[in-house]
A and B are shown apart, each in its own frame.
Chain A
Amino acid sequence: MLKINSLISGYGSVQILNGANMKVEAQSIVALLGGNGTGKSTILKACSGLIRSWSGSISFNGEEIHNKPPHKIVEKGLVQVTQGKDVFPAMSVIENLRLGGFVLNSKQKLEDNLQKVFDYFPRLDERKNQLAATLSGGELQMLCIGRGLMSNPKMIMLDEPSAALAPQIVLDIFKNINRIRKDGLTVLVVEQNVRMALLLADYGYVIKDGVIKVEGDSKKLMYDDTVKDSYLGGGGTTANV
């Protein structure tokens, strides 16, 4: 569904990605793993059009999408959910969700999607008239994912959905991600929480220094010593799976 071919990109004159190759099959959950500053978020930003791709190509559903304006990419059905807490704090929860469905043209569709999101996250329904600034960390993450789902995407890219959240809430959110996939969406999840991400995903990529170093079935990756030692700082994170 999403194909990234030798992508080179970065911020300003600083090159971050040095030719990354990735492939995300339809209706799967793919995990993109790696330490800090390895280029995980940069890949997502290049896919959603927030930064320019210097060379290489990104195609979504067979269409070239690199260097297209971000709103066109959202219209095509590829939505990025940024790292936690990126909401409009001065707007109510329901206004935040309405903004998520900004590309929809019919009111009826908007209401339908609103119901769908409230079905995934009943907590948001309870708090729909509250200002987003008053939500807790977990609720903010739910709001971000919910907002991403509002525009009827075909594929959703999550940037560290587990960052700075309590384990119980992480579990809850990951369950919902699984449910979203079962409803027919494709999910690309960028994570630092390697164990949780690999438990959830079907396939995994490990990125280091802007290139994909290891890829494979998530069950295999979980016991792969090269992943553990070379790319994730060794020991600890995956040792007691």
Chain B
Amino acid sequence: MFKTFKFTRKVENILMLIFTAIFLVYISLSPDMNIDSLKGVLIIGVTVGIIYGLVAVGISLIYTGLDVVNFSHGEFFMIGAFTGLTVYNFLVDGELIYAIFPEAYGVVGYVIGLFFAFVLMGLFGVFIERVFLRPLTKKGGGYTVAGMGIIICGFGLSVILQNVAYLIWNPTAHPFHADLGLPINIAGITLPMTYLWMLVTGFVVAGALYFFLNKTKMGLGVRAVAFSKDISNLVGINVPLYISIIFGIACALAGIAGTLVGPTYQVVVYMGYIILLKAFASAVVGGFGSLPGAIVGGFTVGLFETACSFFISGSHKDAYAFLLMVVVLLIKPTGFFGVQVKMKA
């Protein structure tokens, strides 16, 4: 009886609006409420949101391409952060980069670090897909027994990758001192440069991904494979290759997000797990499997989390993302951009 109970689209939207209104009224009654703190929350929320969005896009891409949730995605984020850190330290500790760029050695080193995190994680993702997941995708993947195997494989991979990182970089927290210059002042808010880098790079990468998916031939192929492997086969797309590409892009996005986050906190072996769960929450809020939805979900979760931890209480920071996910699942089970059923050929 309970199962048949369902809201219509319109009722869902009205309930979401009511929830948003209650939330806004509640935080506006907070004693900390003023225009400066609001601006700060907005900027930090969007910055954190684009990072969640990038990781969530990766999870959504893999979900559409392989029909499974990749539970090891957080580890690609973590290893990406370590890759960026290692490349940065290697370059900045050496003399070469001082000699060429005495003024902006930190920025140059950081950009190269970002680039390496992106490329190496992409290649690493392709390698992982080819070696560990390919035997399972060959047996069917997706909604079959082999697909269940990929999910378990994801958990196992997560543990293995954490331990590999543990062996290479040891379990202590590594500070990431990216020398990017002094904090700047935007609209009365003092923003550390690392946040500005997160914001700008995040948007650039998201824009590049949009361009890639919508304007290039390869992007068209990725979208086709994401929708249906059978039809893609029949129009002559090399589907196994494109599944590798999808996995590689998703991991590259996680890698660059890791290097972007690194300087604001620390780089540590266990950093992947919480970002995986939050990106998962973002993907669910935006509509699982939808790429614009993942980005919008990232912003929503980022803003909600920042606002709650600032105006309500900072000590439960990690819980708010899941609170939002639960609310969205209750009211609007498909998320903002999700479709009711993903049609499968």
Contacts and interface: CB of A to CB of B under 8 A. Distances in A.
B220 A98 contact: yes
Interface in B230-284: 230-240
Given A88-B228, A89-B343, A90-B227, A70 B220 contact: no
B235 A147 contact: yes
Contact of A82 (B221, B234, B240, B343): B234
Contact of A50 (B220, B234, B343): B234
B217 interface: yes
Contact of B230 (A50, A79, A99): A50
B224 interface: yes
B345 interface: yes
Given A48-B234, A70-B234, A99-B220, 6 more contacts: A49-B233, A69-B238, A70-B233, A71-B236, A86-B228, A99-B235
B345 A99 contact: no
Interface residue range, chain A: 20 to 34
B345 A100 contact: no
Nearest to A69: B238
Contact of B237 (A50, A71, A90, A91): A71
Contacts of A70: 233-234, 236, 239
Given A95-B220, A99-B220, A74 B236 contact: yes
Interface of B: 217, 220-221, 223-224, 227-228, 230-240, 343, 345
Contacts of A98: 220
Give the top 7 A-B pairs by smallest Cβ distance, nearest first. Answer: A74-B236, A70-B233, A103-B236, A71-B236, A71-B238, A99-B235, A102-B236
Interface in A74-95: 74-75, 79-82, 86-91, 95
Contacts of A48: 233-234
A86 B235 contact: no
B233 A88 contact: no
Interface in A1-59: 48-50
A88 B231 contact: yes
Contacts of B220: 95, 98-99, 102
Given A95-B220, A102-B217, A86 B238 contact: no
Nearest to A74: B236
Contacts of B232: 99
Listed residue (B233, B234, B345) with the most chain A CB atoms within 10 angstroms of its CB: B234
A81 B234 CA distance: 8
B24 to A, nearest CB: 33
Contacts of B236: 70-71, 74-75, 79, 102-103, 151
Interface of A: 48-50, 69-71, 74-75, 79-82, 86-91, 95, 98-100, 102-103, 147, 150-151
A95 B234 CA distance: 15
A50 B96 CA distance: 54
Contacts of B343: 89
Contacts of A95: 220
A90 to B, nearest CB: 7
B219 to A, nearest CB: 11
A49 B220 CA distance: 22
Contacts of B231: 82, 86-88
B234 A74 contact: yes
Contacts of A87: 231
Nearest to A80: B234
A100 B223 CA distance: 13
Given A71-B239, A102-B217, A88 B234 contact: no
A159 to B, nearest CB: 10
B227 A88 contact: yes
Contacts of A86: 228, 230-231, 345
Contacts of B227: 88, 90
B237 A102 contact: yes
Contacts of B239: 70-71
A87 B235 CA distance: 11
Nearest to A91: B223
Given A88-B224, A102-B217, A151 B235 contact: yes
Contacts of A90: 227
A99 to B, nearest CB: 5
A220 B232 CA distance: 38
A86 B240 CA distance: 20
Nearest to A153: B236
8 contacts: A50-B234, A70-B239, A81-B234, A82-B231, A88-B223, A99-B221, A102-B235, A151-B236
Nearest to A75: B236
A13 B345 CA distance: 21
Contact of A102 (B221, B228, B230, B345): B221
A70 B229 CA distance: 11
A13 to B, nearest CB: 14
